[in-house]
Structure 1
């Protein structure tokens, strides 16, 4: 049953992830965290960060890792195939049929109508990540890291993978705060 659920979850992502990786991420989150509860939000954030820092399509990397984590090698192959088979089939069917209709206004309108929906899905996922970050590191640090990342990615042209790598490296190498132990109480001696 686990293999079937894994296949169905990533098949839905493959079928509905119109527009590539960014539009697939909220769908993967919905299936993996909210519906099947294979990962929690922290694990999902880690998988997403590492997946973004590696080359290749994000949906297949996430499917491979999550499938492996849920059900080993068979789960990995299952999830990756479930993610890519719909795309292959849809590409074959759509390219052959839509190629003859590509100049029609309804085809252009169909693709333009999906863009706002993908934007809303990404905005909701971003909001969820900001809420989670606020709980872990606070608003100040979250807003500073978000702002600096935005500037580096959009205006300086730094690849997101480099930013993620630097932040992961910082998190690994930063000095850990030592927790203060509560003061020892002196035992009163009774005479």
Structure 2
């Protein structure tokens, strides 16, 4: 039953995630966190952060890790196969169809309509993560970190993997003071 559910979750995400790996992330989140409850939001965001630092397609990295965590080696192979299989099937079918009708207006319109849909899906996921971060970290700190990350990546062209690595290192080394620790400290 578990292996079947793993296959269904990642096959469904792979089948509906048109536009590449990033477009499947909200779908994988829905399956893993909401539908099957194999992880909570914090664990999923850790997997996403780790997956973004490694080379290769994000969808298969996440499928491999989540599949392994939930179902061992068989789960890993199952989830990766379920993620890749829809892509192979759909690529063959879709490219054959698109090639046959590439000059039609409806094909051009469909191709242009995909981008805003993927953008909304990614913005929704970002909004959910920022709300949860604001609750645990505070609104001001969350907004400052988001703005800093945006400037570092878009203006200074810092690779997201480096930024995530620095943030993980900071999270490991940073230990916030408790109020009981601050009582004896001079002001």
Shorter-chain TM-score range: over 0.9
Determine the structure 1 residue equivalent to 2:4.
Answer: 4
Q: Does 1:143 align with 2:106?
A: no
Deviation at 1:95, TM superposition (A): 2.1
Unaligned runs of 5+ in 1: 184-191
Question: Alignment RMSD, CA only?
Answer: 1.6
Of 105-114 and 164-173, the range deviating more from structure 2: 105-114
Cα distance in 2 for partners of 1:23, 1:98 equals 20
Deviation at 1:103, TM superposition (A): 2.1
Cα distance in 1 for partners of 2:52, 2:2 equals 27
Deviation at 1:112, TM superposition (A): 1.5
Determine the structure 2 residue equivalent to 1:80.
Answer: 80
Unaligned runs of 5+ in 2: none
Cα distance in 2 for partners of 1:141, 1:176 equals 13
TM-score (norm 2): 0.92
Cα distance in 2 for partners of 1:175, 1:128 equals 25
Cα distance in 2 for partners of 1:19, 1:159 equals 22
Cα distance in 1 for partners of 2:147, 2:16 equals 31
Secondary structure class of the residue paired with 1:148: helix
- Rg larger in structure: 1
Cα distance in 1 for partners of 2:112, 2:68 equals 36
